[in-house]
Chains A and B, each alone.
Chain A
Amino acid sequence: MTKFIDYTLNGISSGAVYAAVALALVLIWRATRIVNFAQGAMLMITTYIAAAVITSTGSYVLGFVVALAAGFLLGAVVERLLMRRVEQGPPLNAVIVSLGLYTFLVALAGMIWGNTPRPFPPAFSLRGYDLGGTRYLFAPNDTYIVLAVVFIAVALAALFRYTPLGLQMRAAAFKPEVAQLLGVRVGRMFTLGWGLAALTGAIAGVLVAPSVFVAPNNFDPILISGFVAAVLGGLDSPSGAVAGAMILGLALSYVAGYEGDALVPMAALVILIVVLMVRPTGLFPAAKERRV
């Protein structure tokens, strides 16, 4: 029973990380109808940068802030230089460009930092809480992860719903031509959207890094889980993505706990396929209909 509670708590914490990745994918999909498969590599780069800053200055907060800034910059640059040219083309071209970017960034990280995994300092203690004599596998650092993701999700929701900038971004994503006619700088909104998405991804990277270690390929499973979570939520809806991520986090935590970590990507694949077969619009559809 303690095991089950442990896996549940662990699922909530990893679900929060998946939620951040899923949000990053959903933001980009809503704005430009592209699934950014390079997201896993982009957050890997920003996490390396954070690790370098933390090692040289000793300040976790500074590393966190630098990672966020680097993520925003990287996302904006990628949109402006690469994705802008394939946004209008066939979807396969955009997919291949994002995979090319993934390959390039992973190789770049390997060139600069090598392929040996590096540890990443946690923000808070990794020692689980003691309750009534039992130690649970939920540590102060997990509380921090959940709160950080809740904060960024609420901040993004507020930005999109209550600010003029958010309104312009929604207009640009919803009807680009009309928005352009009404004076919205659509291209700039797309760049901003990519920047915000990459910033959200960078948060996920820094949060998950202490438990997976930092290496060029170590964030691939998180990208897959984030993608599956986003599809569970309908790929179009940020709140759906968060809910999907929580469900997936719990499911994968039980799989990892009872059957081992190695089965997690395959379990994510099975969940993805079952959901797409049974409910092609995702569990929490924002749009009425779509082709998967």
Chain B
Amino acid sequence: MKVLAGVRHPFERSTLLRSGSLVLLSAVILLVVSGQLGDYNRLQLATGAYYFAALAGLTVLIGSSGQISLGQGGLMAVGAYTVCLLIGDNDWAVLPALVAAVVISCAVAAPLGAAASRLRGPYLAGATLAIAVGLPALADRFPNTLGGSNGLVINPPTPPAWLGANFSLEHWEAWIACAGALVVVFVLYNLTHSGVGRSLRACRDDEIAASLCGLRIGRLHTLTFVISGGCAGLGGALLALALQLAQPDAFPLQLSLTLLTGVVLGGLGSLTGALWGAALLVLLPGWTNDIASSLSLSQNVGDNLPFAIYGVVLIAAMLVWPSGIQGGLMALRRLVSTQRRGAG
């Protein structure tokens, strides 16, 4: 460290400044990249962005507060159905519908989080497992409003006229999804680098010591659960916009477990890790489809191969490499830097 304590650069001092410039820089990069891509890759970019929103919420929940949640897929369903109801039935514009999706999924997550904040370990996993199975199933209970197992269909969002006639639908969807993901980055970066984030890590590392310091553990856990639920809701809302559809089959238990795989593989608690996880979740199904078709395997095998890999990855990661890709990269960097110091 060359900067002395006490005379730190304003850039290091202000989290808001750092997160703001991070988001701005990413926005410029995404703007340029999305302009260069073809329409198929733009759709992949949108997919990655909505996975990222849900993954980032989950990784902060697990990594910062030590709570595991398998209910993320269920809360994504809440966001998706909100968007489809508002846009499809009530003709809302995209932006207010997205905001409403976040608000509603936070509202659904609040009582669940209050209950979950009292549970630990396997009890919490079991309760959130019930959320993942139970919430999407509600669509079958209210077929008139929620469309039953067929789900709800909406018209695709139309790009505004000033972008020109050649501006494709996929391009616009990629922009919307990336903007949503950047909002998530901004909120979560500030959350984890603030007093709240430090309190959360204190609770995670030693609950008794943290509560002796006056931290309200239950309240902090509920808050993280709600924020993570809001991120999931936004992710689900962006998914609904990209697919123009919300149906129970889009949110099976496997979705929640897939998200868990992304988080574990990316490394618990790291936003960069969530990026790795999202990239994997987008690219792996394509790769396995290519492999399956090149080996002329049956449709059943091709469809299920990604999930089989996720399962193996979850198990292997816990047995061999519990800190994930991001943790592995960090370890590699530490190794390189110590060797360089040793040589010099």
Contacts and interface: CB of A to CB of B under 8 A. Distances in A.
Interface in B91-142: 115, 118-123, 125-127, 129-131, 133-135, 137-141
A118 to B, nearest CB: 13
17 contacts: A34-B122, A91-B122, A96-B68, A96-B317, A106-B254, A107-B305, A108-B308, A111-B305, A115-B303, A227-B130, A261-B140, A269-B134, A272-B127, A276-B118, A276-B127, A277-B115, A292-B120
A231 B126 contact: yes
Contact of A103 (B68, B133, B261): B261
Interface in B302-338: 303-308, 310-315, 317-319, 322
Given A110-B300, A269-B127, A272-B130, A104 B115 contact: no
Given A111-B304, A217-B253, A231-B126, A103 B310 contact: yes
Given A92-B121, A262-B141, A220 B133 contact: yes
Contact of B253 (A113, A220, A262, A266): A220
Contacts of A266: 130, 134-135, 137-138
A284 B258 CA distance: 36
Nearest to B303: A110
A224 B129 contact: yes
B311 A107 contact: yes
B301 A96 contact: no
Interface in A215-251: 217, 220-221, 223-224, 227-228, 231
Given A96-B318, A266-B135, A101 B311 contact: yes
A193 B325 CA distance: 35
A99 B314 contact: yes
A263 interface: yes
Smallest CB-CB A-B distances: 9 pairs: A104-B311, A100-B314, A265-B134, A103-B311, A107-B307, A269-B130, A35-B122, A107-B308, A110-B304
A102 B126 contact: no
A274 to B, nearest CB: 9
Interface string B189-201: 0000000000000
B312 A100 contact: yes
Nearest to A29: B122
B3 to A, nearest CB: 36
Contacts of B317: 96
Interface range, A side: 35 or more
A262 B137 contact: yes
A211 to B, nearest CB: 17
A227 B253 CA distance: 16
Contacts of A115: 300, 303
B257 interface: yes
Interface string B131-165: 10111011111000000000000000000000000
Given A102-B257, A114-B300, A265 B70 contact: no
A105 B311 contact: yes
Given A91-B122, A95-B125, 12 more contacts: A96-B317, A96-B318, A103-B261, A104-B308, A106-B307, A107-B305, A220-B133, A221-B133, A224-B129, A260-B141, A266-B135, A272-B126
B260 interface: yes
Contacts of A59: none
A82 B300 contact: no
Nearest to B309: A107
A69 interface: no
Given A103-B310, A110-B307, A262-B137, A97 B315 contact: yes
A101 B313 CA distance: 10
